[in-house]
Amino acid sequence: MNVSPEQFPDAVVDASASGQAEQVAVLAGGCFWCVEAVYRQLEGVTSVTNGYAGGTARSADYSTVSSGRTDHAEAVEIKFDPKTISYGRLLKVFFSIAHDPTTKDRQGPDVGRQYRSVIFYGDDEQRRVAESYIKQLDGAKVFDRPIVTEVVPLDRFYAAEEYHQDYAARNPLEPYILFNARPKVDKVRKYFKDRVKSGT
């Protein structure tokens, strides 16, 4: 990345906050434990659920998805108040901290199609914001390499098994969490401290 998170640009095109008390974003950026840990601490985010998107109900379980032979990606479903945090702001965190959008089918130590970078849009407005932001970031040469994030329509989100929910918060000393999720959590608290929920 050519700029630090504090210099990362806001989305020029963003979604409207009017008319809806709650909106939903579905994002995939590697291991869902790490992505969930990033978003659960942001003000305006009401819930984050770990799960799978991109494939069928038949293959929406951890052991099958982990094989890398399904169409699923590990994803998070973020419910949020658009009057407090916008869709564009969620994408800013997604690209600047939650994962590396320039690596195809991998994040850090995790390799496979299930770890690909995807924005699953729920409507045309989300698609427009996502495509515009990727174009904006590529145009500004924010990253050294092109962004490989897919922007595809959300068919359905499948919640993961219960033991995957709030995993990082419940297992803070597990080595994988310490080395992979914790640094991202700390970056959010440093660079987006005015957006972090009190008490987290």
**Nearest CA among 51, 48, 33 for reference residue 108:** 33
Cα–Cα dist 61/40, whole Å? 22
Q: What angle do CA 171, 173, 175 make, to 5 degrees?
A: 100
Question: Is residue 7 domain-resident?
Answer: no
Question: Is residue 82 domain-resident?
Answer: yes
**Residue 31 falls in the annotated catalytic set:** yes
**Nearest CA among 163, 35, 12 for reference residue 99:** 35
Q: What angle do CA 166, 150, 20 make, to 5 degrees?
A: 60
**What is the span of the domain harbouring residue 24?**
19-187
pTM of the model: 0.96
Question: Is residue 95 domain-resident?
Answer: yes
For residue 123, what is the domain's CATH number?
3.30.1060.10
Question: Is residue 9 domain-resident?
Answer: no
Count how many domains the chain has.
1
Question: Is residue 75 domain-resident?
Answer: yes
Question: Is residue 175 domain-resident?
Answer: yes
Beta strands in 97-160 (DSSP E): 106-107, 110-111, 117-121, 150-153, 157-159
3-state secondary structure of 118: strand
Cα–Cα dist 25/188, whole Å? 18
pLDDT of res. 190:
94
**List 31, 42, 134, 168, catalytic entry:** 31
Question: Is residue 79 domain-resident?
Answer: yes
pLDDT tens per residue across span 116-174: 999 999 999 999 999 999 999 999 999 999 999 999 999 999 999 999 999 999 999 99
